[in-house]
Amino acid sequence: MHVDHLLLKKEEVNPLPIRKFVPYLYLAPCILMMGLFVYYPIVENFRFSFYDFSAFSPDKAFVGFTNFISLFHDPVFYTALKNNVWYAVISIICQVFGGLILAAILEDPITRFISSFFRTVFFLPVVISVTVIALLFTFVYEPNMGILNSFLHGLGLDSWTREWLGDSETAIFAVIAVSQWQSIGYIMMLFIVAIQAVPREIYEAAEMDGAGKVRKFISVTVPQVKEMFFVASLITLTGAFTVFNEPYILTGGGPGNASEVLGTLLYNSAFAKDQMGYASAIATVILVLTLLVSLVQMKLFRTGKDD
Amino acid sequence: MIDLETKAAIDYTYNVPAKRRSKKGKIKEAVPLYFILVVYFIVVAYPLFWMIVNSFKTTDEIFSNSWAMPQKWLFSNYSHAWETGISGYFVNSLVVTVTTCLGTVFISALGAYGLTRFSFKGKNALLILCMGGMMLSPQVSLVPLYKLIQALGIHDTYLALILPYVAYRIPITLLLIRAAFLDVPKELEESAVLDGCSSWAVFTKIFLPLNYPILLTGIILTAYFTWNEFMFALIFVDSESLKTIPAGLMQFRDALQTNWGVLLAGLMISAAPIILLFLFMQKYFIRGLAAGSVKG
């Protein structure tokens, strides 16, 4: 992830004259906590995905690849995967592209006198708990008096109104929309920080050449924030494949399995159906997907750096 | 981030345009930009505004007239929500958040000190271990973590939340603090060592006080994560009396199926602390998010 600038700093410090075990004492709590609660579970999860077991029994039966085979034959798995892909595509468009455009507008000198107000408001949803936001949006989507249907009604678009979360055609998109509403401000803020680091002289030179706002955005802003662009897409893509909170609270994966994602499938398998091994297999698939996304991103990022 | 005054000064110096655009052209350019801002402002602000206004109404009034101002401002919704369970969740969230923040920042600062001030075997491996921890999402470890927490006998206690929270927040917090510690001039600690200070004294008397802004950033980011975390809170704690706000709200909703004004008031109470923290500490908040570029 985007920690290069934190890591590239030169170390020029002479180590303190000290006994050898001392540094390990300072690091012991970190190693212990991360080892036990971050790394050990990852390894265990991989092992668990080859077993069949339940939450409260100590017995485990080794079943080989059975969990994966039945997962890949489960139509709900493909519904979930498809919904995660929708999540990824829409999040890239709304959060990364939308966030970049909002950031560019707020950093334009023409909006300067009011930009800090808009910036703060646009960022507000990021700091509100996802439970609060999801419950608030059950009111937005409420079929009879909800904000969305009332708004459509007010515009005379009654034929567009529907039961957004109860309709299997729209449920997943209604859920995805909530995530966009909450997270655009976050990606926008990252781009604002990136744009503020662009040397003003470049914009100045572009202006001298008579470049308009759109031209400056395409030829100066976009290439200058390329690095943040990759970071932002990595964050949104990883988020899209691990999402759980919004679908769980808003629809629970329903109606039927229409808005199921891998995260809710994992949760339901583990804690509703008590198929812990099957759930671990789903977790392994999620891990592989997120690692693939990271690898592809890093590869693209390296290539991007060369030119 | 450049502070706003300097930025304004720079903008002023550089933006005296070579070819002055006509005033009319400027307005024409500004209109679409402001249009986008205002539309998005309505999209973001209206649901929040709706939540505030309707949290003061009766359910009947929300149903019949959700767009208008309340006929009578029902502050009692708030006390009702507080007594119906929010107070308990609130205290739990407070306990878990404060403990997690202090634990995370202290352990990360220790680790950062160990990684920046000594040279020893396996240092780079440890740094990589730390970064790797940031890429792993908690969802992937859900089942084994659940088993582990049972095995440790801490299921359904505060510790079932605090320990995993601390562990998952260490990587980013440690990297943040490490970057700040690398900037501490070595002369400072050399003179302290000459005065006979131990490495522990250098840590507590020089490094911690000197770097309090970054420690504060670490605390704020951890608080933001912990206050809002939902999945672990839902799964690792069963007792109603120990639930934190995000998980407790689900219960709260079920208890209040028909009392929407009170439910909305409960949502307001739950969101308020972190919104206030953000509004008052915006600088630290954004600095931290930008430096780590890693979300909760």
Go through the domains of chain A in sequence order and give each one's CATH number: 67-306 (1.10.3720.10)
Residue B252 lies in a domain: no
Among B110, B136, B145, beta carbon nearest to A29: B110
Whether B97 is covered by a domain: the verdict is yes
pLDDT digits (tens, 9 = 90+) for A38-76: 999 999 999 999 988 887 777 788 888 888 999 999 999
Domain range enclosing B219: 90-239+283-292
The yes-or-no verdict on residue A246 having pLDDT over 90 is yes
One DSSP character per residue, chain A reads ---HHHH-SPP-PPPPS--TTHHHHHHHHHHHHHIIIIIHHHHHHHHHTTEE--TT----EE-TTHHHHHHHT-HHHHHHHHHHHHHHHHHIIIIIIIHHHHHHHHHSGGGHHHHHHHHHHHHHHHHS-HHHHHHHHHHHS-TTT-HHHHHHHHTT-GGG---TTT-TTTHHHHHHHHHHHHHHHHHHHHHHHHHHTS-HHHHHHHHHTT--HHHHIIIIIHHHTHHHHHHHHHHHHHHHHH--HHHHHHTTT-STTTT--HHHHHHIIIIIS--HHHHHHHHHHHHHHHHHHHHHHHHHHHHHHH-
In a domain, B68, yes or no: no
More confident residue, B120 or B103: B103
> Tokens standing for B34?
């402001």
Q: For residue A10, is pLDDT > 80?
A: no
Domain assignment of residue B50, yes or no:
no
A147:B46 CB<8 A? yes
pLDDT tens string A191-208: 998 898 888 888 888 888
pLDDT value of position B107: 96
User: Which of A6-10, A216-220, B96-100 shows the highest mean pLDDT?
Assistant: B96-100
Q: Specify the CATH number for the domain of residue B133.
A: 1.10.3720.10
Reply yes or no on whether the pLDDT at B167 is more than 90. yes
Q: What is the pTM of this model?
A: 0.85
**Window 103-122 of A, Cβ < 8 Å to B:** 105-106, 108-112, 116, 118, 120-122
Give a yes or no: residue B201 inside a domain.
yes
Convert A278-297 to b/e letters by CB count within 10 Å (16 or more is b): bbbbbbbbbbebbeebeeeb
CB contact under 8 A, A11 and B182: yes
Q: Does residue A305 surpass a pLDDT of 70?
A: no
Residues on chain A touching B40 (C-beta within 8 angstroms): 102, 122
Domain count, chain B: 1
pLDDT band at B16 (very low <50, low <70, confident <90, very high): very low
**Does B233 fall in a domain?**
yes
Do residues B225 and B296 lie in contact, with contact meaning Cβ atoms separated by under 8 Å? yes
pLDDT of A35: 92
In a domain, B151, yes or no: yes
